[in-house]
Structures are given as C-alpha cells and as structure tokens.
Structure 1
Amino acid sequence: MYTIPASGHLMINRDSHAAKQLRLLKKALCADEIVPYLGPDLLRLKPGQPPVPHTPHAVAAAFNARAPAPSKIRKNMWSVAQYIEQRRHRRTLQAWMAEIFAGPAAPTVFHAWLATLPLSLIVDSWYDGAMRAALAETGRTDVVEVQGVARVDTMGDIWTKTYDLSGAELQPGSTATTVLYTPHGSIKPAANFLIADSDYVEALTEIDIQTPIPPAVKERRTKRGFFFFGCRFDDQMLRTYARQVIKRSSGPHFAVMDSAKLTKNERRFLAASAIAVIDMPAADAAAQLVGTGV
C-alpha cells in the first residue's frame, strides 16, 4: 500500500523505504495505475555526455554559442530564445533548436521498458524524442503522440498536434491505447517547440482553466497519480506546467530526486503538490524498476 503524503508536508523516502516504494511503483506502472512523467535527466542514465542538452541552462548555453544574449538573461533558456526570436526571426530560432536537438538521443533501457507496458498515458517534458523512439522501436501501432505547439506556428485555436509513430499527422482528438503527451513539443516528427517566452504567454494565460491540456490527458489522469523521473522543478515554468498537468488527478504522486540538491522553491512545490520524494540515484532507481542495468 502506498504511503500518501499530506499536502504541505514534504515526505522523503530513503534507504529501505525508498526501495519499498519503488517496488510498489513498478507494480503500479505494470498495472497502468500511475503515469510516468519524464524529464531530461533521464538522458544521463547512459554513460558519457548526452548527445543533446539535458537542462534548460545547457540549451541557453547552446543558444549563446550561436548568438550571445545580454548577461542578465544569458542563463534563462526561455528568455534567450525570446531574444533570438526578436532579433533573428522565428525561423532562426526554429532552425537552431532543430540543430541543437538533432542528436539523436537514443532511448535508455528504462525508456525501452516503459515502451513495453500497457500505459494509458506517458508525459515527456523534454524535446529529445527518446521516449517516442523507444515506442517506435517496439513496432507498436497503438500509440499516438500529442505535442504542444506554439500558437505563432499555427492558425486558429490550436494548442496541440497529434501524430502516429510513423510521423503522420492525425486528426485532433485521435487516441490509442497509449497517449504520449509532450507538452513542450519535440524534435520529432516535425520540430514543434514551445521555447520562447512569447510561446507561453497565451498558454500560461489559459492553463489555469486547463484549455491547453489535451482532453485525452484530462481523462486518463483522473484515476491515476504521477511518477516524476528525471525531472527538476528549479524554474517557475517547469513547476507551473507540472502543476497543471497533474491537476485533478487522483494521486498519489512520487518523484525520484536527490533531496540534498533540492532548492527551497522545489521543496515548497513538492510539498504543496503532495509529491513524495524517493531519495535515490536515478541510475539505481531505474535499474531496480527495470530489473537490469540501464
């Protein structure tokens, strides 16, 4: 049985308690009772330097290598992207993002394991496309990906686009056994990116009433909690999106994180959202879940 944290109190599971929660989470994932919410730190499960940036700061650095931004915004990915859009045009920003995430980022064994499970919903919060690639490698045909798109790149009241694993665009609202939701966009199949501050203006205006959240996500989260893996919440944008994606879900929620590295804002967010921390190195947690090395 899960230990469910109370809102406002940060629960941290360590040692044997962490291992026990992971065993329960593995059963929950296999039974489609919890939603994996994946972040860019998963790219560090493979040895060596990730082939694409795995933090917002690293993306900002990649932008600055192409066109240095003012020092006061230089470390903020969203602000640097906005600076590039204003000075160099949207096409340049899109092209540079496509270059930065050309990768390719190969799936880890953890991605591959998740791809075999009968999960109703997977959330991938980074641009690298590794989870999509893992699903495609299985040969499954019962998966659709719903990507967030920038309103500047669309016409009409469109917040997302839907694709199958071959890259074909589907009708809005198309669903399948597994829905992969990439709220910030992805390099594959069409290089859709929410990245600049302006991309989020309308989304953040509407997100509190859930307009940008796809109906399939709203429906499939209702009786499930979320399991955050490879995520950090040290920026307000990341916290805002995570809070709205898990809104009106039933819980419980868990996150594999190093508690010693949590910022004050992360601790407040995790406590307020009733997300229990599993304090364990990501590689160890992934190996326990998969049952092998990653």
Structure 2
Amino acid sequence: MTIAVLPATGSDAMDAPALLRELGRRLRAGALVPYLGPGVSQLSAPPVPMTPEALAAFFATKVALPRRAKGNAWASAQHIESMKHRATLSALMGEAFAAPVPPAPLQDWLASLPLPLIVDTWYDGAMRAALAGRSDWGEVQGITRAGIGEDRWFRFYDAEGRESSAAAAEGWRTLLYKPHGGIVPARNFLISDADYVEVLTEIDIQTPIPDIVRNRRAERGFLFLGCRFHDQMLRSYARQVKKRSGERHYAVMEPDSLTRNETRFFLQEGITPIAVPLAEALPLLTGAA
C-alpha cells in the first residue's frame, strides 16, 4: 500500500500512516471535525446517486434537459424548477434518495464517538441512521427559502426527527450539520442554482451558518473524508464552513483524482491532502490497523 502526504501545504513531521493514526486520535479527542462527502457512503455501493454527476444523470432520465445543464446537478435542478415547479424538483429529489442508505463503517465509528460536530454534505440519511442508537444528539439542516415566506436559513431536528430549536441544540453532545439539507427527516434540499445564489450572497458574512456550528468549529481543525472539490460551489461551501476554525486541516483524497483546481484550493485553504484511497485510510484512522 502506497500512502503519501502531498507536499501541497507542508506535511506534518511524520509519515502518512502515522499521521492517519494521529488524526484518528484527534478525532476521538474531539479536536477534529469530520467533514463527510458522498464518497464515505459510496464505499458500500448504496442504491442512490452518490455524486453530483450521478444526480444530474438521474435528473436527465426524468426530464429533457438543455445541453448546458446536462452533467451539472445544480443547473439541471434549476432548469426543472424554472420550467416545471419547485414541487416537481422536490418530488424528484425525494425519488432519487428514497431508498435508505445503510451507514458505512466509518459513519458507525464516528457515531460511537462523543464528537461535538459532524458535517455531512450529501443528501442521504446514512449518518443520521448511524447516530440512531443515541439520544444525546441532534441535527441542523440548511433549507431552501423558495416559497417558505420565512427569513430562515436552517432548521433544527432532534434525535427523533422532530423539529427543534437553537436553544435545545446547545444541550446536544453531538451536532450533525447538513449544510445542503437531506432526505430525512423532512426533505430539505438546497440543490438549484437559485438556492445557492441566495445562500452564497450571504455566506461571506456567515448568516446561513448556524451560530452553534460557528462556535463548535472554533479552534478545531477539519478532516475532509469522501469529498471532492472539483466544482466551484463545493469549494465555496467548504471554505465558508471551515472559516474561523482551527489552523490545521487535512483531506484524504484518491491519489489519481486530484484536479488542478483542487490542489490550488488545498494550498489556499491550508489543507494537507493525504494521497490514499479512503478504504485504505479507514483502518489507520479507526485504529484497526
């Protein structure tokens, strides 16, 4: 097994296997925030789209899309919303993610830890399912403001899936943050270009990010797992979620998949990429190897 820390930001003074074991120790201590992408659940071959490209392909099977929208989930969703209705887009998202996704081993392991904050950036409910055996956690999800008539950017839900409040969330040992929404418990989806234009207009001043997320990320680093940053929107969101957090951040990345834009993003954001397939990194992170 070949593992290397890419020299993008200057690596820690240890080899990559030792670094991964150390990152696992920092996770167990609550000093790192796991930032999960769809690649985490993708290891289990789930029955739902697990990349933006796969979601765009799903939309293309349901609606005739213009060439400019094909292959782009956000543009495809915007076309559906504009030409049909928001309700149609929401129904298609519900159909795309209707099949339950079982937790991956990494999600089960994270759920066993008293982590202050977990960020999960895909629409499936696997991380919520992994946490289901506990009662000391809750979730906050980004929501679309299309048609709700409210000045709200997010909603809170307790471990049972009931809508809750920011005040109640302060007492949760673990907070699951779904910045793009999710299929459960209430089908909240940020997905169309219009959704993101609205959020990104405000996100520099952090309004769409809950105060409790801002507080719990303070002085903690981020560990990006199963994520890609080949799309500008994905980079913009990650940049704002990690804003004003700790100084040291890491990303486990497939060695042969990094684009030039991703490498530049890691350099700009002070993220050390660890070039190793996620499946090979997991035993080192969790202490199984």
Normalised to the residue count of structure 1, the TM-score between the two structures is 0.92
Does the residue aligned with 2:39 lie in a helix, a strand or coil? Answer: helix
* 2:127 aligns with one of 111, 127, 131: 131
Partner of 2:211: 215
Q: Which aligned pairs between 1:1-294 and structure 2 lie closer than 5 A?
A: 10-11=8-9, 17-46=15-44, 49-136=45-132, 139-175=133-169, 176-292=172-288
The 1:215–1:256 alpha-carbon spacing in structure 2 relative to 1, beyond 3 Å, is same
> Identity across aligned pairs (percent)?
52
- Letter in structure 1 aligned against 2:144: A
Q: Deviations over 1:25-55 (max 9, x none)?
A: 1110010000000000112222xx3211111
Measure, in 2, the Cα distance between the counterparts of 1:13 and 1:56. Answer: 30
Structure-2-length-normalised TM-score:
0.93
Q: Distance in 2 between matches of 1:19 and 1:25?
A: 10
- Please, which runs of 5 or more residues in structure 1 have no aligned partner? none
In the aligned structure 2, how far is the partner of 1:95 from the partner of 1:231?
Answer: 26
Measured after TM superposition, the shift of residue 140 of structure 1 is 1.1
Answer whether contact 2:226 2:252 (CA < 8 A) is retained: yes
CA RMSD, aligned part only? 1.7
Query: Matched residues in 2 for 1:173 and 1:85: separation?
Result: 34
Aligned letter for 2:209? I
**One-letter identity of the residue aligned with 1:161:** R
Identify unmatched segments of 5+ residues in structure 2.
Answer: none
Deviation at 1:172? 3.5
For 2:204, give the aligned amino acid. Answer: D
3-state secondary structure, aligned to 1:256: strand
CA contact (8 A) 1:142 1:178 kept: yes
1:149-189: CA deviations, max 9, x gaps? 00115332100000012110002443111110000000000
| Structure 1 residue 12: Cα displacement | 7.5
The structural deviation recorded for 1:20 is 1.1
Does the 8 Å CA contact 1:207/1:213 hold for their aligned counterparts? yes
How far apart in 2 are the matches of 1:20 and 1:123?
A: 24
Q: Which amino acid aligns with 2:22?
A: L
Distance change >3 Å, CA 115–CA 141, structure 1 → 2: same
Count of aligned positions: 281
Secondary structure of 2:33 counterpart: strand
Q: Secondary structure at the match of 1:261?
A: coil
- Verify the 8 A CA contact 1:34 1:225 in the aligned structure 2: yes
State the 1:11 CA deviation.
Answer: 3.6
CA distance in 2, matches of 1:273, 1:281: 22
